[in-house]
Amino acid sequence: MRYSDEETERLLAEAYAAIPPRAGKRGTLHIKREQHRWRIKREYDYKKKMERIAAHERKMAKRSRIAKEIMKTKADAPEIVSKEKEYQDLVLMRWAEMNGHSKDTATRVEA
């Protein structure tokens, strides 16, 4: 079966006329994919930001604790220094007496 050129054109025109015109924006699924991708990225960035903030807070808490311990040690230092000095002087005097470097020992030997 073969149609004439006029008949073919008429049938094509009728077929094309029956196709409804496309309305609306194209690429709807692409836009949805992009929106989903960017939402996931923003959620990931927010999560990483919270992790950085938490790490910073942990680091500052440790630094604060160490600084407080140092300040406490410095506040207690005069008592500790005086006790250590007394002990060191006692040890030095005993060493001097044992090795003959003490004035008391030197006067005993001469006498």
- pLDDT by residue (tens digit) across 22-45? 887 777 888 899 999 999 999 999
| Residues 37-81 pLDDT 10s | 999 999 999 999 999 999 999 999 999 999 999 999 888 888 888
Q: How confident is the model at residue 2 (pLDDT cuts 50, 70, 90)?
A: confident
Question: Any alpha helices (H) in 1-111, and if so which ranges?
Answer: 5-18, 28-99, 103-110
Q: State mean pLDDT over 10-26.
A: 87
